[in-house]
Amino acid sequence: MSFKKIKKWVSALTTYLLFAVLIVLAVVVVTSKASGGEPEIAGYQLKTVLSGSMEPGIQTGSLIAVKPDGDMKRFKDGDVITFMDAEEKLITHRITEVVTSGEQVMYRTKGDNNNAVDLEPVLSDNVVAEYTGFTIPYLGYLVNFAQSKNGAFLLLIPGIMLLFYSGITIWRTLAEIEKQNKKNNEKLEESQSLSS
């Protein structure tokens, strides 16, 4: 492979990567701002897992998709739910037991990696969503960072780099077109001088 081909390949790869990062981060930031802090795509909320209580199935720093709609009394043993605890923290754990008392439904929950069940049962009213089984390891760290003030500022860098790179590419392309036009004009003048 020649140096020019490698340079061209690296250039194209850099452009695609910068563009992909810019689009993903823009979608995350816009959807999180539009939905009041939680990124949402097609009715699924994206949550960042900040503890290892559900490892190895859900790793710390993973981004998971949860479905917030529906009857929160429908769950059964083995389902994984996201709920608000007494300290108003979101937790995603597995149901180990369903407890019903009249109209009231409560769930005993446990993190897969925890030794014991959670101390307090979860009221169905405190269930926020159901875990869908979709997880992307480590992407949650990036989403958390993107939602911070420093992260939002630093995420402008790929956009600025892409604009700068696009400007250089456009400038080079215009210079190449001008060079080609100059060659064509010289050939045209040469052929006209030969024919006269």
The DSSP call for residue 82 is E
The catalytic position among 32, 51, 124, 195 is 51
- Is 189 in a helix, a strand, or coil? helix
Given the structure tokens 């490698």, which residue do they identify? 6
Terminal Cα distance for the chain, rounded: 46
Which SS3 state, helix, strand or coil, does residue 137 take?
coil
Q: How far apart are CA 79 and CA 56, in angstroms?
A: 16
Q: How far apart are CA 67 and CA 61, in angstroms?
A: 19
Q: Render 82-136 in DSSP notation, one character per residue.
A: EEE-TTS-EEEEEEEEEEEETTEEEEEEE-TT-SS--SSPEEGGGEEEEEEEEEE
Is 191 an annotated catalytic residue? no
181 backbone φψ class: left, alpha, beta (φ>0; ψ -120 to 50): alpha
3-state helix, strand, coil in the chain (%, to 5): 45, 25, 30
Q: Which residues are catalytic?
A: 51
